[in-house]
Every structure is written in structure tokens, then in C-alpha cells.
Amino acid sequence: MKLPISWLKDYIDLDGLSVEEVARKLTLAGLEVEEIKYVGLPMPDNKGGERHEFKTSGISWARDKIVVAEIREVKPHPNADRLTLLDLFDGEIEQVVLTGAPNIFHLKGTGRLSKPLKVAYAKEGATIYDGHADGLVLTTLKRAKIRGVESYSMVCSEKELGISEEHEGIILLDDDAPVGTPLVDYMGDAVLDVKINPNMARNANVLGVARELAALTGRELKKPVIEYQTAGEAVENLVAIKITEPELNPRFVLGLIRDVTIKPSPYKIQRRLRLAGIRPINNIVDATNYAMLDRGEPLHAFDYDVLKARAGAKKVKIITRPAVDGEKLTTLDGEERTLTSTNVLVCDEKGPLSMAGVMGGAESEVTEKTRNVLLEGAAWNFINIRKTAKQHNLPSEASFRFSRGVHPSLAEVGVRRGLQLMAEWSGGKIAPGLVDAYPLPPKEPTVTVTTRDVKRLLGIDLTLEQIADLLTRLEFKCEITNNQLQVTAPPHRLDIGEGIVGLADVLEEVARSYGYDNIPETRMADALPPQVGNPAHEWEEHVRDLLVNLGFQEIVSYRLTSPERESRLAKFDEYVTLANPIAPERRVMRRSLAASVLEAVEKNARADSIALFEIGPVFEPQPGDLPKEPRKLVLAMTGLREALAWDVKDSPNFDFYDMKGRIELLLSGLHYPDLSYAPTASVPYLHPGKAAEVRIGDAVVGVFGELNPLTKEKYEFGNAPVMVAEFDLDALRGSTPSYGIIPVADVPPVLEDIAVIVDESVPAAQVEALIRQTGGKVLANVRLFDVYRGEQIGAGKKSLAYNLTYQSDRTLTDAEAAAIRKKIVKRLENELGAKLRS
Amino acid sequence: MLEQLNEIEKTALDALRSVADQAALEAWRVAHIGRSSPLMLVFAGLGKLSKEERPAVGAAANRVKAALEAAFEEKVREIKEAALAKSLAEETLDVTLPGRAVHVGRLHPSTQQLRRVLAILAEMGFQVYTSREVETDEFNFQLLNFPPNHPARDMQDTFFVEAGERGENPILLRTHTSPGQIHAMREFAKMNPDNPPPIRIALPGMCFRYEQITARSEIQFNQVEGLVVGENITFADLKGTLSDFARRMFGQNARTRFRADYFPFTEPSAEMDVECFVCGGKGCSVCKNSGWLEILGCGMVHPVVLQNGGYDPKRYSGYAWGMGPERQLMLRYRIDDIRYFWGNDLRFLEQF
């Protein structure tokens, strides 16, 4: 909400407070000032040590350079038809000023003006915005000759003074503007852009913010009294109201003003409306908007004569009711809208007139010809207005307020304020009385507060009198009885509940009024909770650490993807699909973490060497229920095994065994025993001959291998093969780790090598398993150090060479070692058809 | 004879002077103190001398031998030193050539920041609680005191999931980690429904908002939420705990400020600002000249939320807060484009 400081000053004295101080107080109290736009008032600068605490824009008007002046005569320019020369008095001297303003052109050559025009006058050296530039460009006025006439100063447009974008003509000030006065004193302003949170709906108006400021500063709120003269027949004799559903329309108030003259509002009013972000239309429409910004009650003005004509001989009868599905209404923006039963209508006996609380109808709107105005102020159900504004995409100042809740008490205040302004600006006569249908007044919640409540929830010691004082500033009614405070919310607030909720609502107001800054900082004195920890999370973090140590870079991908993106790797029939995606390529929750990781590999394909991992959920839809969110781990590696350097020109690529080595280290880091690896051809995206499944005991916990060349083709990868591993983290974590260490021996080991020739079809793991089994406890380690194939040993055969480490708690003799070795060789020969290679 | 010895000594020492390398030194050794050198021949010929001559010549020969050997040792040392000096002079590396790189792994910056946050909170007694990412409207909103159609829902634009007709309880992507508050409270309350135990947890996790992906807004982001429930928890405790956290996170001199704000699931609610750690509060581009950085939203747990979690609001109170590790990283590292986080570009990730 844009809030001109000058308007605030109608209701509270801000003397001695800078604009920034006002903004700071509001911000700390929950009315966050998002920006300050200076329109004339002096701006703080960083030079004086004062910092821009808020986002700041705008312009200051120099007191001695920009003043109120009057135009006494408009004369033709000797050399230019479209320019005029003004006889202008700036309070000191009369001088000639050149202008091209079209809005005084009609006065050219009419001689001395009977009523001089009050204008904003910028003297030589004044800094203002360049009216002809696009956007806001500062310029300083210098002496120049324009078409042979010297010019050094100018009368200003709103754009030149930073009030609005308006540059069609010069500003014509109200007649009471004092000539010679610095313009900043007359109408210098600053506009606070205040964010209105849902709980602050009551403050979406000038009086509301002034009320908060009064409470925060301890200053007096200048409460306005609405008084006006009335004349003619009372409105209740002319108009009746029928509310069909009080839940949707708790109150409806009508007032009437006759014999208005439609014309522009006073300049001061137009300027304020523009600063507040509302375009001035005419005095009647402006009065409804001004009253709304002033008090928070959106108003609607009907052309009474149109309603009268529609009613014929009968009394005008206003009816509010839900629309019938399919009913149509042309709103004042000229759109014919098809309504549903969610929408509430204001009708007369002939049919709909306006969409309640959202937008008026075209037929009964105020026009240049309007003479008599029927003014509506009403209370509506905020949820209903919210739905309607959304349904018809009609965000407006009125629907903004109504969809957050406006207290029904404001309906009457709003209408009276509106009538008062209309009478003041249009010369109309207000009809006596109001028609007020008020079938459903809101509850006036009363909340009981004790000093213990304040201590228990806010942690501060206040007496009941202190609490009452803090709340009274915000217009709560407070009564102390039996060591309790009975608090009643003021009649502009809908945000105070009852019981324990009401207590929280009221304590928030106590805290705000007391000042959050004044509440001390304490360390908790409460009991410590049961220590349950989060083993799954801790374990996952350990996995991350192991992978980082193994040289993998962690990535985090979007959970949202599309079936097409994933289909390069795998096809799924069912997805968790968004009803409102931002884009088709982000319309489902991922099924495959590997697809996400491969996209990242593709994205980084230019890197020499890539080793990535991601840990996170995939989303498996369950019909009619929440999806399963199993957690996965995916690794991917491709590119050079060794980092290149100026003397390292080349390196082999990562292959299957690089990935396997890292997986082995990962799993040994997690202390899983009983690991085995078996070939698998069941993963379509992996190379059928270069893929393995990882088992712990009998359970398959993951698969890995080289990406199938057919799959690889679908990506823009480099030439190097791509290794992928995918683990089911829930299955992996479900395995039982085995802790315990092998003691470090004091005596030296006996080292031996053994090489055996076996058939190609015998897996290395089988040979090693047999060696280990036969060697027993004394055989501390078996390490494969060579695999050889060649003519020497014959086709279809391979030679496997192992380092054997014998270790006992005493020194083994060579004879003992030889005996074990002999046993091993024998079993390999007998069981695997192996031959010792000599 | 004695003269001859003097001559031998002089010749040898003269010759040694011109020796400059190991080979020449060896030749000198053979020629002058070797087995068949003139000096050794003098020793060999001692027996042939008369008894009278022998002692004097013997003594002189021994003196010359010692002198030549000492000179030799001295020369050995000299040559070694010269060789070392030469090799040191020759073996100079170009220390400006780049070092050889190693493939190292790293955690994603968000994980790093999550860990910093959780580590501090762990020391303050907060245990990690995690919960699901796809939620129901009931848990994401209604139980947290966001009734259907409440204006507060405008504050959190939501991704909804196609899941058939579910009335006012659609399935959605959680917009905050706060559904975990309800899950956690109910889990703790179940331990002892009549006397639910106190709670101090941190809830990290990925959240989603219906936003356009731009430099300033993202569709997913991590959040760490804190929740405290107990029989003796106040707004002053909230201020104390979060200010302590800020000092641990941003430095012991970090000043905090609490501004009133609005969240449906807390009341009173506040926004905590920390004095800008880049400029020390003087005003800079990071804090947009305000001197303050918005770090987290917080407040006393709303009575309706306590009730929905199984905690009687007349007896229990609590506070909660939520903050964004990515935002903290953006401030700390002056990252001006939030899209880097899920862009998975190694050129970004390798900087952390």
C-alpha cells in the first residue's frame, strides 16, 4: 500500500520524526516499509553518516529554487506558435517565463488573468526531472535561448517534480496555494510503500497506519469526526435494502447525495491519489477511492437516476444475493462476465447491478451526466470475495481489502466519509439519514489475560495496569477484575479470536506495543527432550563423506522433470504429476535419480574428468494416496582417470574397475560383510557384458556398470565410456554392518606369490574364494596382481596371479607356509581344473 | 733426504691446488699418497737408511704424509661442496609452474551449509527430524492453521498433484518443512499422550513453491526449520536461542533485530534480521544499504498448531522458525543468481 506521509499527518503529528524513523517504527511493528519514494521532502544521504536503511528513490525540492508562483498573464511567443510567454510572479519579482504547456494554451492572449493561476515554479539552478526524457533523468535548469527568447526557469509538470508520469501539462495548484512559499513546505511529500500482511488487513488505510504509529510513539491520534449538513427527503423514503444471505453480506449501508456537479477533484486530492497509486477520475469517483484509502472501506457509487428509472414508479429496492450459475453482468470495464453461484450480486428488482465487493456494473456507474449519487458501503464474506476475484481475475483495491476482511462497522463510517467528501468537492446536498441493513453483526470477542499468561508466553513481567496501557493504545477496551484483565477488541478488528487463540492474538499485540526490542534474550530453562536422534540421516551423511573422500562431487538436481527427459534412460508408466506445472519439462516428480545425474554429466561433458553423486528421493505414485519416496544413491564417472597437467599429457579413461574399486571402498567404509558381485544383463541402460549387481548376503542393494552404448547415444557425452552405479539406500541401510578389526601382527608375515591357469569361464572371485577358504585364518590377505591371457597358456585360458600374505601370531616357518600353499594348489587343481603356472 | 721430502710435499701441494674435480683428485691421490707415490717410496726405503738418519727422516716423512692427507681431506670437502653448490645452482625449478591437480570430491554447497547450520543447532540440543516431500493439504496447511481459502495461502504459491477428487485435501509438494512440525509433535506425543515430552528439533529438507525460475526465484529450495515445545518456553527464549544461533553462525559480534511479522502457524510472529556481516551495518550492496539482512522468520507456536500436534496449549508453549541455507550462501558468497544451486555446473560447484 502506497502511503503519502502528508496524508498520515492529517491524523498524527509527526514533528521531530524523520521519514526514515517513521518507516523504521512501522517496519519493526510488522508494517514493513518496502520502499520510500521521496516527492519533495529532503532525502537522507550517505554523506552525513545517515544510511539509506530502506530502498529509496525520488527527488528533493530545493527550498530556495522551487516555489509556489502565480501566472498573471499568458502571452504569445513572438517566434513559435506552440509556445507561450508567461507573466509570472514568484513572490519576489514578476518575470517572463517560457512554456509549451497545453493546459494553459487556451488563455493565450486573453490579457491579464482575472484569477491568477497558481503553479509550481522551478528557478534557475533547480534540479528536477527532465520532462521529455524516457524514465527519470535529473536535470539542472540553466540559462538558454529558445527561439530567440531567453529562458532560465520553468513552471513544472508532475513528471518534472517526481509526482507522477504526467507530462501533458503543468500542475495547476489549488487557489489557496501561498505564492512565494517553498513548494516543499506547501506539498513536499514522501510515499511509504507498506506491505500489508494478512493479519494487518485492518491497516490497509491511512487512519489504520496512523493509529499504529500513535500506539508506537505514544502520540495522540487525531480522531476525525465526520460532520455534514443534510437537506431534502431522507434516503430511507427512497431506497430499501434486502439481504438474502447475511453470512455472505452481514451489512449493507446506503446514503444519497443530490445535485452534484461532476468535475475534477481539488489538486491536493488528485496529487494524493496519484501518490497512492490511484488515477483520479472525477470528484465523485475520487471521493469513493479517497474514503477507501482513508478509512479502509471500499465504496461503490451508483447513478441514482439510473436506478430510479429502472424501478419505474416503485421505490428503488437493492437486493443482495448469490448469482445464478450462468447469469451475466457487464462490468464497468465493459466486459460481459458469466457468473457462478460463488459470486454475490448487488441487484435491484430488474436484475444485477454490480459484482459485490469486486466491480461495479456498467449501466449504473457514475458518468459525466450524473446528478444524484447513491453510495454503497457494505460488508462481505472475505472467502467469497477472494474466490470471486480469483475466478474473474479481478484484483483491485476493493477486492484486496474485502478478500482480507473489512469490519462491518466500517460500512457506515465509509459511507458517511464518502458523502462528506462528495459534498465538499461537488457542491451536492446530502440526503438525511442512511439506509442500514445489518443482519449479522460480528461477535465482540472478549479475552481474559493474566500476568501469568504474559510471563508464560512472552517471558516478561508486566502488571495488569501495564498490560492494559499497552492495549489501550491500540484501542482495546480493558477492564481489570479479580486480578484478571478483560480485553475487548476495538470495532475495526476482525483478527482477534476467543479463548486460547484470542489470548495468543492479544499477547501478540502486547508484545508489539511493548516493542519486540524491549523483550530480553534468555536461554531456555526447560527440560531437555528425549534423545532419539536420527540414525537414517546420520548414516546418509556418512555415505556422503565416504563418497567425497573417494573423489565424487555431490550434485543436487531438480526433483521436477518430464517423462520425456527420463525416457532416454528408462520409461515409466506412472508419475506423480503436477496439476499446475510451471513448464511442461518440469511437470512430474522424478522416478529415476540416474536420469537426473546423467543430465548433469551431459551438462558438464566438456570437463576432462567427471565423478558425480547425488543422494535423494524418487517418487513412486500410489493410486489415490501419497507417493512412496524411496531414497537412492547414484554415482556417475566418465573421462580421464588421472588429472592432466603440463607434464601429464594423457591418461586412460575411467572404466568398470575404477567404479568397482570405489564401490568396494564405499561398502567397506560402511562395514558391510558378505559382499558379492554378480554379472547382470537385467538393467537395460547398462552394457550387458559390463554390468554387475552388488549383493550383501542374498539381497541386491545396487547395480553398476558401463552405460549401454545404445543409451549413451541418446546423450551428448564425450567419447569416453560412462560408468553408472545406482543404489537403493533403504536396502543398503537395512543391511547389517559388521564391526571389529583384524589385529596388527607383531611378527613379520610370510609373503608368497602363486599363479594359476584356469578356464576363461571361471570367475576370479571363485578362485579367490577357494584360496581364502583353504588358507584359513593364517592366510591374512589375498591380492590379485595380474591377469594374463596369451599363446603361452593356450586359448580359452587365463592366468591369475596372487600375492599371498601368511600371518600368524608367531613366526611361521617356510615349511609351514609351503604346506598351506601345497593344499591350496591341490584344491584349485581338483575343484577348478586349475594348473599351477611355473 | 729431508730436502727430498720437502720437495715431495711442495710438489704435491702445488699439484693439489690445481685439482678441481673428483677424477683429478683421485689421480692426485694415486700419484702423491698412493702405494707407489714418491712419499711411499720414502717410507719403503726407510729400512735402507742408517740408524742415525732413520728417526729424522721417518719423523719428517710422517709429518709430510699427515700434511698431504689433511690437504687431501680438505680438498675432498671442497670438491663436494663445489659439486653440491653447482647442482643446487643447476637444479632450480620454475616454482611458478602450476602444481599437479588431484581429483577431489566435494559436498554440494547446500549440503555444506545445511551441515554448518545443523552442527550449531546440534550443540544447542536440537535433533534432526526429517519427513516426506509430497504432502497433503491437511498437513502442509490446515493443521498449521491455514484454513482453506485463507489469504495467508497467497504467501505460499503451491504446486498441486493430480490425484483425483480429494475435496479440500489435495496432494501437493510441501511449501515448507513445517508439516514436519505436526508429524514430529504427534510422534513425540505418542510416547506419553498424557504427559507429552518436550521437543527440540531441527527439520531440514527440500521445499517447493510455484514460481518462475529466475535469478531471484526458484521452484525448489532447502529449508531448515526449528521447533521447540515445552512447559516453560517463552518469546524471550526464542530471542535468546536465535540470537545465540546468529552469533555462532555469523560471528560473536553479530547483532540481531526482531521485527513483527505474520505467519499463520506462529503468534506472536517475527522476522529476525542480522546486522550485515559484509559491511558491519554501514550499508552495502549485499544488504541493499539497509545494514540488516533478513535471515529467518519465527514465532511462538500457534495454539491451534500445538493442539493439532497433541500438545495442550494451556500447558505447553513453544517456538518455531524457518530459514534458507541457499539464501545464507547467497549472502555469504555474494551469489546473485539462485539458479546456480540446481544447475549442477561443475564450474560453480568446484568453488566450494
A745 occurs within a structural domain: no
Cross-chain Cβ contact B162/A501 below 8 Å: no
Could you tell me which of B243, B266, B267 has the C-alpha nearest to residue A521?
Answer: B243
Q: Are both A152 and A199 inside the same structural domain? A: no
Residues A515-535, mean pLDDT to the nearest whole number: 95
Cross-chain Cβ contact B288/A28 below 8 Å: no
Residues B58-64, mean pLDDT to the nearest whole number: 90
Q: Name the residue type at position B220.
A: Q
Q: Following DSSP, what letter does each residue of A204-258 receive, concatenated? A: SSHHHHHHHHHHHHTPPB--------B-SS-GGGTEEEEES-TTT-SEEEEEEEE
Q: What is the pLDDT of residue B266?
A: 97
Q: Flag whether residue A51 sits within 8 Å of chain B, measured between CB atoms.
A: yes
> Which CATH number does the domain housing residue A181 bear?
2.40.50.140
**Contact yes or no for A157/A168 (Cβ under 8 A):** yes
Q: Are both A268 and A408 inside the same structural domain? A: yes
Band the pLDDT of A746: cuts 50, 70, 90.
confident
> Which CATH number does the domain housing residue A212 bear?
3.30.56.10
Q: Flag whether residue A199 sits within 8 Å of chain B, measured between CB atoms.
A: yes
Rounded to whole angstroms, the Cα distance separating B81 from B83 reads 5
User: Is A126 a residue whose pLDDT tops 60?
Assistant: yes
CA distance B209 to chain A (A): 10
Q: Are both A243 and A212 inside the same structural domain? A: no
Digit-coded pLDDT (tens) for A318-348: 999 999 999 999 998 999 999 999 999 999 9
Composition of chain B by helix, strand, coil, percent to 5? 45, 20, 35
Residues facing A612 on adjacent strands: A553, A636
Residue reference for cell 483495491: A397
Query: How many other C-beta atoms can be found within 10 angstroms of the C-beta atom of residue A777?
Result: 7
Q: Following DSSP, what letter does each residue of B178-247 receive, concatenated? A: THHHHHHHHHHHHHSTTSPPPEEEEEEEEEE-----SSS--SEEEEEEEEEEESS--HHHHHHHHHHHHH
**Contact yes or no for A56/A38 (Cβ under 8 A):** yes
**Contact yes or no for A364/A306 (Cβ under 8 A):** yes
Portion 26-45 of A in contact with B at CB < 8 A: 27-30, 32
CA distance A259 to chain B (A): 41
A622 occurs within a structural domain: yes
Q: What is the pLDDT of residue A46?
A: 55
Digit-coded pLDDT (tens) for B282-339: 888 888 878 899 999 999 999 999 999 999 999 999 999 999 999 999 999 999 999 9
Interface test with B, best of A553, A590, A650 (most B CBs within 10 A): A553
Of A516, A558, A579, the CB nearest to B162: A579
The residue segments making up the domain with residue A286 are 235-437
Q: Flag whether residue A535 sits within 8 Å of chain B, measured between CB atoms.
A: no
Query: Residue A523 has which C-alpha cell?
Result: 536461554
For A300-340, give the secondary structure using H, E and C: EEEEHHHHHHHHCCCCEEEEEEECCCCCEEEECCCCEEECC
Q: Following DSSP, what letter does each residue of A657-724 receive, concatenated? A: HHHHHHHHHHHHHTT--SEEEEE----TTEEEEEEEEEEETTEEEEEEEEEPHHHHTTS---SS-EEE
User: Is A49 a residue whose pLDDT tops 70?
Assistant: no
Percent of chain B with pLDDT over 90: 72
User: Is A47 a residue whose pLDDT tops 70?
Assistant: no
Q: Flag whether residue A523 sits within 8 Å of chain B, measured between CB atoms.
A: yes
Q: What is the pLDDT of residue A220?
A: 93
Give the nearest chain B residue to A509 (CA atoms): B268
C-alpha dist (Å) from residue A207 to A190, A202, A475:
17, 10, 13
Band the pLDDT of B149: cuts 50, 70, 90.
confident
Q: Flag whether residue A453 sits within 8 Å of chain B, measured between CB atoms.
A: no
Q: Are both A723 and A631 inside the same structural domain? A: yes
Q: Are both A259 and A321 inside the same structural domain? A: yes
Q: Name the residue type at position A735.
A: S
A685 occurs within a structural domain: yes
A226 occurs within a structural domain: no
Q: Are both A596 and A557 inside the same structural domain? A: yes
Q: What is the pLDDT of residue A51?
A: 57
Q: Flag whether residue A649 sits within 8 Å of chain B, measured between CB atoms.
A: no
A380 occurs within a structural domain: yes
Cross-chain Cβ contact B125/A559 below 8 Å: no
Q: What is the pLDDT of residue B165?
A: 84
Q: What is the pLDDT of residue A70?
A: 96
Q: What is the pLDDT of residue A475?
A: 94
Q: What is the pLDDT of residue B47?
A: 85
Cross-chain Cβ contact A548/B173 below 8 Å: no
Digit-coded pLDDT (tens) for B253-279: 999 999 999 999 999 999 999 998 888
Rounded to whole angstroms, the Cα distance separating A624 from A601 reads 35
User: Is A52 a residue whose pLDDT tops 70?
Assistant: no
Q: Flag whether residue A524 sits within 8 Å of chain B, measured between CB atoms.
A: yes
Q: Are both A276 and A400 inside the same structural domain? A: yes
> Which CATH number does the domain housing residue A803 bear?
3.30.70.380
Q: Are both A300 and A376 inside the same structural domain? A: yes
Residue reference for cell 517496519: A27
A372 occurs within a structural domain: yes
Rounded to whole angstroms, the Cα distance separating A789 from A797 reads 7
Digit-coded pLDDT (tens) for A57-108: 999 999 999 999 999 999 998 888 889 999 999 999 999 999 999 999 999 9
Rounded to whole angstroms, the Cα distance separating A505 from B262 reads 11
A378: left (phi over 0), alpha (psi -120 to 50) or beta: beta
Residues facing A257 on adjacent strands: A373, A430
Residue reference for cell 581338483: A830
CA distance A364 to chain B (A): 31
Q: What is the pLDDT of residue A528?
A: 93
Rounded to whole angstroms, the Cα distance separating B41 from B35 reads 8
Look up residue A105 and give its DSSP letter. G
Rounded to whole angstroms, the Cα distance separating B33 from B35 reads 7
Query: How many other C-beta atoms can be found within 10 angstroms of the C-beta atom of residue A741?
Result: 5
Across the A:B interface, residue pairs with CB atoms under 8 Å apart total 283
Percent of chain B with pLDDT over 70: 100
CA distance B216 to chain A (A): 16
Give the nearest chain B residue to A500 (CA atoms): B303
Portion 389-408 of A in contact with B at CB < 8 A: 403-404
Q: What is the pLDDT of residue A824?
A: 94
* Tally of domains within chain A: 6
Residues A655-663, mean pLDDT to the nearest whole number: 97
Going by C-beta distance under 8 Å and a sequence separation of 6 or more, which residues neighbour residue B230?
A: A524, A526, A527, A529, B198, B199, B316, B317, B318
Element housing A89 (H / E): strand A84-89
Q: Are both A579 and A715 inside the same structural domain? A: yes
Tell me what the pLDDT averaged over chain A comes to. 94
The domain boundary, picked from A437, A471, A488, lies at A437
C-alpha dist (Å) from residue A608 to A231, A275, A719, B125:
90, 59, 11, 44
Rounded to whole angstroms, the Cα distance separating A198 from A382 reads 12
Q: Are both A277 and A386 inside the same structural domain? A: yes
A631 occurs within a structural domain: yes
CA angle, corner B6, sides to B4 and B9, nearest 5? 110
Interface test with B, best of A526, A560, A608 (most B CBs within 10 A): A526
Query: Residue A198 has which C-alpha cell?
Result: 494478512
Could you tell me which of B166, B176, B134, B219 has the C-alpha nearest to residue A620?
Answer: B134
> Which CATH number does the domain housing residue A606 bear?
3.30.930.10
Query: Residue B241 has which C-alpha cell?
Result: 536461542
Cross-chain Cβ contact B237/A541 below 8 Å: no
- What's the first-to-final CA gap in chain A, in angstroms? 92
Rounded to whole angstroms, the Cα distance separating A357 from A93 reads 53
Q: What is the CA radius of gyration of chain B?
A: 43
Helix (H/G/I), strand (E/B), else coil: B279 = coil
> Which CATH number does the domain housing residue A255 bear?
3.50.40.10
User: Is A18 a residue whose pLDDT tops 90?
Assistant: yes
Q: What is the pLDDT of residue A496?
A: 94
Rounded to whole angstroms, the Cα distance separating B286 from B279 reads 8
Q: Are both A483 and A562 inside the same structural domain? A: no
Digit-coded pLDDT (tens) for A127-158: 999 988 888 999 999 988 877 788 889 999 99
Q: Are both A293 and A406 inside the same structural domain? A: yes
A77 occurs within a structural domain: yes
Cross-chain Cβ contact B237/A617 below 8 Å: no
> Can you tell me the ipTM of this complex?
0.89
Q: Which residues of B touch A527 (CB under 8 A)?
A: 198, 230-232
